Amino acid sequence: MKRIGLGLVILTLLSLVASNAQGRIKLVALPDRDATIIRLDNPHASLVEEERVLTLQKGVNKVDFSWKGVRIDPDSIRLRVLSHPEAVQLLSVSFPPNEAALVWEIASPEGWEERVRISYLPSGIDRLVEYRARTEKDEKNLTLNAYMVLRNFSGEDFERARVFLNSGKAFEKTIRNEETKRMLFLTAGPISITKTYTWDAAVKPHDPEKVSETVGIPVHYVIQNRVSDGLGGFALWAGKARIFQDDGYGTTIFIGEDQAAFTPVGDRMELYIGDTREIKVTQRKMFEKKINIRRNNRNDVVLYDTDELFTVKVENFKNEPIVLTLIEDIPGQWDVEKANFKYEKETANRIKFLVPVLANGSETVSFHYHRRNVR
Amino acid sequence: MRPTCKKHESFLHIRLCSFLVLILLGLVISFSPLTVKAKVDLVTLPERDRVQMTIYNTADLTLIREVRHLTLRQDMNRLQFGWANTLIDPTSVSLRALRNPDKVALLDVSFPARTKGVAIWNIDSEIAGEEPVEITFFTSGISWNAFYLATLTPDEEAMDLEGYVRVTNRSGEDYANAQTRLLVGKINLIDRIIDLAKREYPYGRPVEIAVRPAAPPEAKLRLEEAERVMMKVAKEAEKRPKEIIKEALSEYFLYTIEGTETIPNGWGKRLPSFKQPGIPVTSLYKHDEKRWGNQVLRFLQFKNDKDHKMGREPLPGGLVKVFCRIDEEAHLSYEGADTTRYIPIGEKVELNLGEARDVRVRPVLMEFRTEHFMFNHRGDVSGWDEHRSFRVEISNFRSIPIKVEIWRHFGTAHWDLVNSGDYGQYEKVDLKTGKYSLELPPNTKKVFTYKLTTHHGQRAE
């Protein structure tokens, strides 16, 4: 449904004065819209640019632009003169009462055809990005397809519009009001995958045997938006990613989906695909004592340190070795006295162990720390 | 009513009886809807050649893959599919040319305005002629679960275990002669397929997502027809149970059922998954006052490994019903049931059969005293020790040897313990808990004592 209309009223300066007394004069000519561009690189608003050819008379011309039934931010509407930008001048913009319309006053030194570009921000038209990945059976690499889903609920039909995302590639599409269109805009691969397993002590049960369901440990795929992986051309937009895996028979299984975050070039995209139940983690606190107790003159304890020992048993039931990321939170001020695995300090209160475990094997991480100056 | 093969008044004229209604339209020059209507040229009604279902058990999700032969024209082809009255997620539908993937490209998919349950694919083909294509999509409404029947030998030293899977189809569609695969695993889903299937607009609206009132799909049981199909399939089937091939993929296990299956809408189907006789089991009894009070709970313990004649596949979570053969004529008694967790290969299994009446654990406090009091500057008590002496009596009234685990909670991290008597093995579980493991021959008693000293207040420092 075409609702955005452009009317051209050609008036001399003299009759302009008269028209003020008469009320607004409506459309005279309807120049067709051509070269429409829908630009979707801003996730918060879509920009439409359309070009039209106005037949201007010498003198002041009134151009009526209306958008009944279409939601447009009137302050976003811009007019740019293309054919004679030096000579043709936009004098004013006025907004008639109770109408989705505006009137441009355009002064032209000659009578000629003038190409103009009108741009505006309509609501109700946007795009989603969707990814579909197919991993190899051994999960070393994947092929990524990215789709743009154009949703037009703006109230306006766009005929043969050129649709731009940030990828530089344009699609020429006709998109009608209330229509949704999905199109492939990127195929890349092979992209190397890093697979991670993460057990976070703050989130997961410490004794899986006391839980009625097998505790799942989150599995992530990490890919890099970089040239060596066939990506790196542009940022990958946030969107739903569905991941399939080659099953070795020429077909696939679906192995999970996640909402991919916006990933600039050079950054990593992390996708949570599902939980493994082939790894079991049991954490136990084996020792706790207050030490370095300091008292006031009434003998009350005012300050102390702690002596705490934890063990974390990691059992791998898989037929292949794994590296488990073990996240532990330690509140306040602390120092680790001893740990039998290397750890990294992630934040002031969080440490991370990377625990390699052999196929069908198990490891026990033990860490002994002191919290200092507990009051 | 389920969709039937009948003429429609729309410009498409014909619908297929299938999950997806697929219609291939001829070359269309203009993109305008009016001209599309005028120029529609019905080219081919592609039949479904093969169907594969991959059914998930931790989410209401089935991946359907079907292969059809499309007769394509060189240049632009339009293919319409419809999913009205199904539980298909329209955003999941994808198409892939199998023979000429480089020459047949899906340019876009449109979900036309003011048209529900229909999408149009624009396919650009460099070839003219027949091309096999694979169409995949997600549907809701088909599920499967595992369950087990266990039979103990009279001496309770071994157990026969039979595993089954049961597939139930409530998707609104019949699935005939489909290769059926079951996926064991916990995948991450950010939207429920049923919600996607019921959306008014497949991808929602930019401003607000309008959801159609959630009317369940109409029940489409056609029992007579379904029975007829199933009878036919049964006749054709071989006279042996089907095998289920199991393999690990990523973090999941894929069970592929031999041959194909026909599961009409509304029907369920039970299939044997495995059968293993003679699994050695341990009768384990557990006592933990904090968790179960005075009761002793009976467990059957074994491991999903080769030593226990298992270990070929993980055991999906499901209900296990345990029976015991009680005589030479193989009469059975029902022992109890438990729902297992998912058991990976190599993991131990403990089936909880409920309260045991013929094994008793009685921890009795025999002595209590306090000492080593400390006082603060006001003369109040600021620290002390408590001594407790427990006598634990374990009675096995059964005529089989058993293992018993007794968990004791000390209530504080500051304690000392002295065990004496026949206490078996002692293990410190964590800073406040200890565990005694004992083995008892048939019809015997054991007694042990532990002396627990706990330190409180300043005495704990």
Does residue B95 lie in a domain region?
A: no
pLDDT of residue B44: 47
Which of B32, B81, B252 has the most A C-beta neighbours within 10 Å, making it the best mutation to test the interface with A? B252
pLDDT at B218: 41
Place of tokens 């269309």: B28
- Residue B20 pLDDT: 53
Its pTM stands at 0.81
Nearest CA of chain A to the CA of B430: how many Å?
5
The answer to whether residue B156 sits within a structural domain is: no
What total number of domains does chain A contain? 3
Question: What is the residue range of A345's domain?
Answer: 279-372
Q: Which domain holds residue B409?
A: 359-460
**pLDDT value at B3 more than 50:** no
Asked whether residue A217 is assigned to any structural domain, the reply reads no
Residue pLDDT, tens place only, B383-436: 999 999 999 999 998 988 999 999 999 999 999 999 999 999 999 999 999 999
- CATH number for the domain including B384? 2.60.40
Q: Does residue A246 belong to any structural domain of this protein? A: no
- Mark which of A175, A191, A207 sits at the end of a domain: A191
pLDDT of residue B225 exceeding 90: no
Residue B440 maps to a domain: yes
**Placement of tokens 């293919």 in the chain:** B79
Summarised one tens digit per residue, pLDDT across range B179-223 is: 999 999 999 999 999 999 988 899 998 864 333 443 444 434 444
When scoring A204, A251, A293 by the number of chain B Cβ atoms within 10 A, the one with the most, hence best to mutate, is A251
Same domain membership, residue A160 and residue A76: no
Q: What is the CATH number of the domain that holds A367?
A: 2.60.40
Residue A266 lies in a domain: no
Q: Which residues in chain B are contacts of A304 at CB distance < 8 A? A: 461
Asked if the C-beta of A140 comes within 8 angstroms of chain B's C-beta atoms, the answer is no
Is residue A139 domain-resident? yes
- Cα of A260 to nearest chain B Cα, Å: 11
Domain membership of residue A263 (yes or no) is no
Q: How many CB atoms lie within 10 A of CB B185?
A: 29
pLDDT of residue B6: 34
Q: Is A219 on the interface with B (CB under 8 A)?
A: yes
B156/B300 Cα distance (integer angstroms): 9
Q: Determine the average pLDDT of the residues in A45-63.
A: 88
Q: Is residue B449 part of a domain?
A: yes
Could you say which of B61, B190, B431 has the minimum Cβ distance to residue A259? B190
B370, part of any domain: yes
Phi, psi of A274 (to 5 degrees): 170, -170
For residue B190, list chain A residues with Cβ-Cβ distance below 8 A: 240, 257-259
User: Residue B285 and residue B296: Cα distance in Å, rounded?
Assistant: 6
Q: Is residue B213 included in any domain, yes or no?
A: no
Substitution target from B49, B50, B108 for chain A, most A beta carbons within 10 A:
B108
Q: Which residues of A touch B461 (CB under 8 A)?
A: 289-290, 293, 301, 304
Confidence class of residue A233 from pLDDT cuts 50, 70 and 90? confident
- For chain B, how many structural domains are there in total? 1
Residue A26 has pLDDT above 70, yes or no: no
Which pLDDT belongs to residue B38? 28
Contact call for B428 and A256, based on CB within 8 A: no
Q: What ipTM describes this predicted complex?
A: 0.79
Indicate the helix (H) or strand (E) that contains A17.
helix A13-22
